[in-house]
Amino acid sequence: MVTKSDYGLGPLYHGTSKDSADAILIGGLLVVGGQPIWLSYSQEEALENAQEKEGPPVVLEVNLPEDWLLERGEAGTYLSWRDIPPEYVKAISNNPGIEDWKPKFVMYHATPAKNIELVKQEGIKRAIQKISTHRTPTEPVVYFADDVETATDYAEQSWEYHEMADPRWAIFKIEYDEFPTEPSADVVWGVRGVYWVDIDIPPEHVKLYGVFDVEQHKWINVLANPNTAVGTCYTDAWRFLIKQGEGYLIHGSVQLSAEGARVNHAWVELPTGWVWEPQTKSYYMIEDFMVMSPIEEHRYTVEEASIMVARTGNHGPWNAEERMKHIGR
């Protein structure tokens, strides 16, 4: 393998289906089941590859760093054996695969909880960022993260940096069917998983996701999903399933002790007869996993889990209305 610059490559292209494209723009391109990520220097070839998949075809543009390692595939194609983060992937304009498709732009913004009512009324206003990095702009900007976990991590860094008395931070969800395209709205990569844009975000595109206590590292309330268990089990289980490329994502509940209350939870059931449990990051035989008295409420295939994240902008749990709307059951 050699670097992208050694091949003298410009933008590369990846062909996929419409539903997968939505998930890729949120979570990036993943190496699944030990298979590398397929890329082409030709939009036309990427479109041909996309047309072999189920669903309307979509072509994505991939802009990798010059030192990114690639393996040469068949004529005009290249293979990446590393996951490609979403910041390197974008939907091309006038998509040759499908004319009426537009990606849904979903990001998350963290701010002290005292600002909740202000943000609800006025939206998210540009401000000077006080955590300095080599890429920090000196002009007022709006910062956001590509997932809830990165937003909460960023809130913790900000809270520690400023030595704030109140550790409660509000996480807001930013949603656009298509993000503004005027020059002043270019999205710029800041530090890993965090971005900025030099426009204000109006309140109609902002929704309160929940309140997070950064000192205790736990959710006080997750308004988008009131029954979400404390922790990242839903996100971790989804990512594990997508990475494996097989099995089922299970949403349900477990009992951590004989006297303990039931806790909402997510896990992955593999075709090998094993269960992957995200809290311990461990594998269990199904009979061993039964000691937690799991109750399954819903299960999702890899495709269904990808569609649900792409359409809802979160990793669950999902309600009956969302399931019926997006996967028809």
pLDDT tens column, 181-203: 554 555 555 555 677 777 889 99
The CATH code for residues 105-222 is: 3.20.170.30
Model pLDDT for residues 67-102, shown as the tens digit of each residue:
898 888 877 789 999 889 888 888 775 666 665 555
Question: Which of 186-190, 199-203, 273-277, 298-302 shows the lowest mean pLDDT across its residues?
Answer: 186-190
Give the angle subtended at the CA of 287 by the CAs of 283 and 290, to the nearest 5°: 90
From the list 281, 124, 269, the residue with the least C-alpha distance to 209 is: 124
Domain ranges (residues) in the chain: 2-91, 105-222, 233-327
Confidence label for 224 from pLDDT (cuts 50, 70 and 90): very low
Summary mean pLDDT of the chain: 78
pLDDT of 228 strictly over 50: no
- Closest by Cα among 255, 258, 268 to 229: 255
Taking the domain 2-91, which CATH number applies? Answer: 3.20.170.30
The yes-or-no answer to whether 2-91 and 105-222 have a common fold is yes
Tokens of 323: 């399931």
Residue-level pLDDT at 53: 79
**Res. 249 pLDDT band, cuts 50 70 90:** very high
Share of the chain above pLDDT 70, in %: 79
3-class secondary structure, 13:
strand
Give CA–CA dist 266/252, Å, rounded: 6
Confidence at residue 293, expressed as pLDDT on a 0 to 100 scale: 82
CA dihedral 229, 142, 22, 183 (to 10 degrees): 180
